[in-house]
Amino acid sequence: MRVRLRFFAVLRERLGPGGERSVAAGTTVGALWDALVAERPELGAVRVRYAVNERYVERGHPLADRDEVAFFPPVSGGG
Amino acid sequence: MRVRLRFFAVLRERLGPGGERSVAAGTTVGALWDALVAERPELGAVRVRYAVNERYVERGHPLADRDEVAFFPPVSGGG
Amino acid sequence: MFRVTKAPLDVPRLLRAVGDPRAGATVVFLGTTRRENAGRAVVRLEYEAYASMATAEMRRLAAAAARRWPLRKVAIVHRIGPVPVGEASVAVVVSAGHRAEAFAACHWLIDRVKEIVPIWKKEHFRGGEAWIGLQRAAAARRRAARRGRR
Amino acid sequence: MFRVTKAPLDVPRLLRAVGDPRAGATVVFLGTTRRENAGRAVVRLEYEAYASMATAEMRRLAAAAARRWPLRKVAIVHRIGPVPVGEASVAVVVSAGHRAEAFAACHWLIDRVKEIVPIWKKEHFRGGEAWIGLQRAAAARRRAARRGRR
């Protein structure tokens, strides 16, 4: 199945804005992040938060086909 | 000695904006109010607050020549 | 900025008045009379002030708030004369380094403004008019009397 | 009104957005970056948002606040892109029947906005630039490590 990746802030600077990616059925958002870190070990230092279809999820959240999966660091808006 | 009287809100409606008045030396603001109530007994129903020279004072505050003495009901500004 | 004014409240101007490069937080309170107050349909309001003492009390309150919290700037403005229902009659604006102080001071200030600043509201409603302070005092006396009877 | 925008925050427009004849109190919070932050002279700021999720989170927070307090209306707007030092980057505006609710909800909302809404600040200061969330997380880890060593 295919998901859409989105990266923000320091992750966008390092990985670009995102794109499409194939993942095995049943992959969790945490396993997908671990796969990304395996490709780019320097990402391991970033504390990451996960959102699927514009809602926060935990690492164990299973992905579905066509999900929009966002990875980003702790937020810092608000003035 | 002479003091300047000022009335506000319902007291202004009943007594007018104020004016000059002669009082005996040593008169307190409470005694002055009692004298006003003696002249206009219907004022006795109004809960009154006292200010002298733009500061709140208690009944026992002694008046001085040229003081500006204000009488008014509980405030109700603020929206 | 501490004043009573017949003009509608100008919030952008108030914000400029409390602007400060060391302020990270600005909190604004606006008080507006509701169309329905205590079951009466309010048609019009009129505020009267002891203007010179009102601005003096506003300054004293702002100084007291600045002793209690680390603030940058404070502005308090109250409308007088007729105020249409739905338009704000009072604004309290506080800037501070951080938001907790700005919120606490703004809330404290509007509570004190309502207790202390010599301004009176007359409500014109369908079927009559009433000075609000008197009423509140009378209601408080009635409540106290009821408590006394129990 | 819930949005991220490149335009300066328009407070009069936000006030119109929360206008309601049953509102007696309106509280506005404005957050501004100070010129000095953690000892650095801040020159410029830049905010980035996950815009669609940010507005969705703003709506969810407003709905949560409206369950918790009796509110009339809520507006939340955050600037993105470059923001000059001294201009507000975020506004939270709450109208309610009474002031205690308006203050409590506005304070709660800005706390939650800072924790939850996916927006990131990059500070450009003399001598460098830094994403602020990362730093806060790193500082928190360092503090935790120091506590661990004691």
Mind telling me how many Å the CA of C90 is from chain B's nearest CA? 5
pLDDT digit string, tens, across residues C46-92: 999 999 999 999 999 999 999 999 999 999 999 999 998 889 999 99
pLDDT digit string, tens, across residues B4-42: 999 999 999 999 999 999 999 999 999 999 999 999 988
CB contact under 8 A, C36 and D26: no
CB contact under 8 A, D26 and C19: no
CB contact under 8 A, D12 and C12: yes
**Distance between CA C23 and CA D84 in Å, rounded?**
14
With touching defined as 3 or more inter-chain CB pairs under 8 Å, the answer for chains B and A is no
Per-residue pLDDT averaged across B62-78, rounded? 95
> Of C33, C122, C136, which is closest to B74 when you measure between CB atoms?
C136
Buried b (16+ CB within 10 A) or exposed e, D60-85: bbbeebbeebebbbbbbbbbbeebeb
* Percent of chain B scoring above 70 in pLDDT: 100
**Distance between CA C18 and CA C66 in Å, rounded?**
13
The per-residue pLDDT for B46 is 85
CA of D30: which chain C residue's CA is closest? C26
Residues of chain A positioned with their CB less than 8 A from the CB of D116: 56, 75
User: Tokens 């600043």 correspond to what residue?
Assistant: C117
Mind telling me how many Å the CA of C43 is from chain B's nearest CA? 15
> Of C15, C24, C106, which is closest to D31 when you measure between CB atoms?
C24
Q: What is the mean pLDDT of chain A?
A: 94
pLDDT higher than threshold 90 for residue D88: yes
Sequence-distant (6+) residues with CB within 8 A of D42 are D33, D34, D35, D36, D85, D123, D124, D125
Closest to B11 (Cα-Cα) out of B79, B69, B54, B78: B69
Question: If pLDDT is split at 50, 70 and 90, which confidence band does C115 have?
Answer: very high
Q: What is the ipTM of this complex?
A: 0.91
The per-residue pLDDT for D128 is 81
Q: Do C94 and C109 meet the contact criterion of CB atoms below 8 Å apart?
A: yes
> Of D47, D56, D136, which is closest to A74 when you measure between CB atoms?
D136
Question: If pLDDT is split at 50, 70 and 90, which confidence band does D150 have?
Answer: very low
Per-residue pLDDT averaged across C10-23, rounded? 94
